[in-house]
Structure 1
Amino acid sequence: MFLSLVSALAFAAVLTDVSIADDTFNVQPFKIDLSSEVPHLLDLANKTRLPLKPLYPDAGLYKGIELDYLRKLQTALVGNFDWEAQQAALNEFNHYTVVIEGQTVHFVHQKSDDPDAIPLILLHGWPGSFYEFSPVIKPLTESWTSATGKNVSYHVVVPSLPGFVFSSPPPQNWTVDDDARIFNTLMSEVLGYSTFAVHGTDWGSVIGYSLYSTFTTTTRAAHFVFLPFFPPTAEEIAANNITLSEEQKVTLQRGTEWFSTGIAYFMEQENKPNDIGLALYDNPVGQLAWIGGLNERAEDPRAGTPPSVLNDTAFLTLVSLYYLTNTFHSSLWIYAQNPNGFRGTYTKANTDAPMLFSQFEYTNALWPQEYVAKVGNLVSYKFHDFGGHFAGLDNPPALIEDIREMGLYFDA
C-alpha cells in the first residue's frame, strides 16, 4: 500500500511537470530501457562477415558506403560502444507517451524555469530521431538575453515521428499532414500551449511547414534548415541572376551530386520500402551500411571535431535506436506515404507568422534567400560555413543561436 502510494505520488509529480491540459489522452511517463535487446544486436554485428578488401577500391563515396568506414563502425559497435551510457544520457530528459487519434506518440518535454518561456516543438526527419536534438534541448530551456535586452527561453517538446523509435507505426495512408495535425493536438490540447514555435529539418521541415501554413492560429513562428520544396538547380539560380558566395557554391555542388546519384535511397524507400526494410530488419551492420553511406555524404567533412558532436558514438546511437526498437522498417514508409511530400512549385503560406531559415554549407541542398522568401514571411536568413544535414549534432551552437533568434520575433 505504501509503495503504491509512493509510486502514485511520483507519477503525479512527473505529470505535473508535463502540464497536461486534457488528461483524456492517457499521457504516461516513459523511460528508455532497451538493454535486454543489446546482446542480440552485438552478437549479430560480431557474426556479420564483411569482405576482406573493397571490390573496387577507387569507386568513391558516391557509389555507396566505403568498406573501411563500415568495418570501422562494426568494430566500434562490437568493441567499445557503450549503450548503457547513451541510454542513461537520454533518460536525463523527461520522456512521455500519449495516445492521439489511436497513435501512440513518444515525446520529450523539457520545461524552462522561466514562466514566460515560449513553447517550441522540434521535428526530426530520416534517418534521424529525437536523439539528433539532444545537444540543443537543455540549452534552449535556459534564459538567453539578446543584444537588445530581450529574454528568450523555451519549453522544448521533441516528439518521435509516427513509425520512428518509440512512436507506433501509423496506418498505411498516413501523411505528413496527419503528423502535423496530431502534433498540433499534442501542443495545444494535450500540453495546453495556445501558441507555439516550430523547428523542422528533413521530413520534419515538411511537417513543420504544414503546421506553419495550416495551423496558423497556434503556430506563430517557424525556423527551418530544410524546406519541403525542391531546391533550385544551378541553371535556375543563374537564370534568376542570383549571385552565390563561394561557400554557397559548395552547397550547390553537393546538392547537384545528391540529386544525380545520392537520391537512389530516396527512390528505393519511396517505391520499395518493404524490400530494404525487410532485408535489413534484423541486420544491424546492414542498417549501418544503408544509413552510414547517406550520413557520410550529408555531413560536414570535419564532423566529430568541435563544434560538431557527430562522431562515431553519436552515429552508432542514432542507428542503434532504430535497430533496438525494430523501427528501421516502419521509418522508411514516410517516403512511400508521401510521394509528393517535397514539391516542385513554390507557394507562399497564408500566415503572417515570422519564418527564419538557416543554411548549413555541407547539407545536401541549397536554397538561396530569394527562394526561401517565396514560401513564408521570411525575417532572417543565415548561412553557416560549418555543419551538415544533422545540424543539431553537426553544429549545435549555431542551431541554438538561430532558434533563440526566433524568440525575438515570436508574438503570441
Structure 2
Amino acid sequence: MNDAVTPFRVGLSEAVVDDLRERLRRTRWPEPGTAGGWSQGTPLAWVRELCRYWLEDYDFAAAQERLNRFPQFRTAIDGLDICFVHVRSPHPGAVPLLLTHGWPGSVVEFGKVIGPLSDPVAHGGDAADAFHVVCPTLPGFGFSGKPAEPGWDLSRIADAWDQLMNRLGYPHYGAQGGDWGARVTIELARRHPASLAGIHLNMVPAVPAPGTEGDDLTDRERDALQALARHRGQGQGYVAIQSTRPQSIGYGLVDSPAALAAWIGEKYQAWSDNDGDPSSVFTPEEMLDNIMLYWLPAAGASAARIYWETAGKLAVDPVTVPAGCSIFPREFYRPSRRWAQRVFPELRYWNELGKGGHFAALEQPEAFTGEVRAAFRAFR
C-alpha cells in the first residue's frame, strides 16, 4: 500500500487564465429577475459586477500566492487522492486539530484562522492553546480526487479522515467543522470515538425531540424553529437539485464561470451576517479565491454529489465524545442548549455569539479562533 505524502501546489497557467477570461467575456447574461433584491436568486447587477472584477481587477498571480500560502500535500486514501493543508505548530504539546469545510466552501475559509490556531503566541495568545492544523479537502472538492463510483458518503469520509490523521502521526486529535464539515466531524466522533480528544462545531444540526416541537418552547427556541422553517421552505432549492440531479446542474457549474459565481454567491448573501449585501462581509478576493477552488479543478459537479451521496443517510445517534458548540446568530441551525444536549450528552462547552453566520471562520476569524480555543480548554 502506498502511504506516500507528497507536496502539492495550486498552479494557474497562462492558458487557464486566458480561458477563464475568455469565458467571462463571452457570458450570455439573462435578463434581471422580475422581483427586487435576492428573492429570485442572485441579482444580475451583483453577479455581473463580481464577474467584471474577476475579469478586470482580480490579480491571478497574487491569488496563486494566497492559495499556496500554507503547506499543502496530497496522499492516496481508499483509492482516492486527498489534498490537505498541514501546518505544524512550533509549540510543544500542541493538539492535532482536523478542520473540515463544507459546501460551497473550501480550505480558503480557514485562511485567517490557521495562523492563530497553530501559533497563538505570534498572534497575542497562549502557547497552551496551540494546535497542529490539518485541513483536508473533501472528496470531489478542490484538488482532491473525484470519485468515479458511488459510495463516498459521510462514513467513508470519516474513515478516510481518521486514516489521514494516523498517517500524519496523530493517533489522538480534535476535530472541528461547520456545514458538511460538521456532519463529517459528527460521523467521525460516532465511528472513531477513541481517536478524538473532542469535537467543536459551528453548525449544530440539533432540533427538538420528535413530537415535542410545541412543548414549553422559549421565545428563542421559537425564533430558531421559524428561521429553520424559512430556510427549509425558501432556501433549500440547491439541496433538492444537488441531492437528486447533481450531474445536470454540474454542466453549467463546470462550463460557465458566471453560473458558478452566481450559484455560490447566492449562499454568501443568504448565509452570512450581512446587511443584504455579501460584499459588506467578504472582499471580492475572498469570494473569488473560494470560487477558484471550484473553477480550476472543474469541481462543480463532483462537489455537488456529496448531497446525492448523503440523501436520507444522516444519522441521529448520540455523540459520546466531549463536544463544544458555538452558535452564530445568522447560522440557519440555531438550536438551544437543551436540544443540543440530546445529541451531545458530553457537551462541555456552549456559547451563543452576537455576530457572524454560516462562514464563521471567514466572517469572524477572531471569534471563531476564540471559540475553538475555549472548547478545547474545556476538554482538558
Shift of 1:178: 0.3
Cα 1:165–1:236 change in 2 (3 A) is same
Cα 1:160–1:150 change in 2 (3 A) is closer
Q: Cα deviations across residues 313-360 of structure 1 (Å, max 9, x unaligned)?
A: 2111111210111111100000001112445xx4312x3x32000111
- Match among 341, 345, 360 for residue 328 of structure 2: 360
Shift of 1:409: 2.9
- Match among 242, 245, 261 for residue 272 of structure 1: 245
The two structures, once aligned, show a CA RMSD in angstroms of 2.3
Counterpart Cα distance in 2 of 1:222 and 1:270:
27
- Match among 261, 266, 282 for residue 288 of structure 1: 261
TM-score w.r.t. length of structure 1 = 0.84
- Match among 270, 293, 296 for residue 297 of structure 1: 270
Is 1:225 equivalent to 2:197 in the alignment? no
Report the equivalent of 1:38: 17
Counterpart Cα distance in 2 of 1:224 and 1:283:
33
- The answer to whether the 8 Å contact 2:98/2:133 transfers is yes
Q: Following superposition of structure 1 onto structure 2, how do residues 101-180 of structure 1 map, counting pairs within 5 Å?
A: 101-143=78-120, 151-170=128-147, 171-180=149-158
Secondary structure at 2:255 match in 1: coil
- The answer to whether the 8 Å contact 1:41/1:324 transfers is no
Counterpart Cα distance in 2 of 1:341 and 1:405:
31
Is 1:26 equivalent to 2:1 in the alignment? no
- Match among 287, 302, 324 for residue 315 of structure 1: 287
- The answer to whether the 8 Å contact 2:100/2:185 transfers is yes
Structure 1 residue runs of 5 or longer lacking an equivalent are 1-22
Structure 2 residue runs of 5 or longer lacking an equivalent are none
* Range that drifts further, 63-72 or 328-337: 63-72
Report the equivalent of 2:311: 339
Sequence identity percentage: 30
Secondary structure at 2:324 match in 1: strand
Is 1:379 equivalent to 2:348 in the alignment? yes
Cα 1:192–1:211 change in 2 (3 A) is same
The alignment of Structure 1 onto Structure 2 pairs a total of residues equal to 371
Secondary structure at 1:197 match in 2: strand
Paired amino acid for 1:336: W
Counterpart Cα distance in 2 of 1:385 and 1:399:
12
Shift of 1:237: 5.0
Cα 1:109–1:55 change in 2 (3 A) is closer
Counterpart Cα distance in 1 of 2:227 and 2:288:
24
Secondary structure at 1:131 match in 2: helix
Report the equivalent of 1:49: 28
TM-score w.r.t. length of structure 2 = 0.91
- The answer to whether the 8 Å contact 2:198/2:379 transfers is yes
Which has the greater radius of gyration? 1
Paired amino acid for 1:88: E
Cα 1:385–1:187 change in 2 (3 A) is same
Report the equivalent of 1:19: none
Report the equivalent of 1:9: none
Q: Cα deviations across residues 138-162 of structure 1 (Å, max 9, x unaligned)?
A: 11012369xxx88211000000001
* Range that drifts further, 164-173 or 269-278: 164-173
Paired amino acid for 2:41: G
- The answer to whether the 8 Å contact 1:114/1:143 transfers is no
Counterpart Cα distance in 2 of 1:126 and 1:98:
22
Counterpart Cα distance in 2 of 1:86 and 1:240:
51
Shift of 1:280: 2.7
Secondary structure at 1:194 match in 2: coil
Secondary structure at 1:25 match in 2: coil
Counterpart Cα distance in 2 of 1:236 and 1:76:
49
Cα 1:300–1:236 change in 2 (3 A) is farther
Shift of 1:119: 0.2
Report the equivalent of 1:15: none
Q: Cα deviations across residues 263-311 of structure 1 (Å, max 9, x unaligned)?
A: 1110100000011002332100011111111221111115555xx5x22
Counterpart Cα distance in 2 of 1:405 and 1:75:
41
Report the equivalent of 1:400: 369
Is 1:185 equivalent to 2:163 in the alignment? yes
- The answer to whether the 8 Å contact 1:198/1:221 transfers is yes
Counterpart Cα distance in 2 of 1:84 and 1:253:
45
- The answer to whether the 8 Å contact 1:209/1:228 transfers is no
* Range that drifts further, 28-37 or 355-364: 28-37
Paired amino acid for 1:46: R
Cα 1:392–1:341 change in 2 (3 A) is farther
Is 1:241 equivalent to 2:184 in the alignment? no
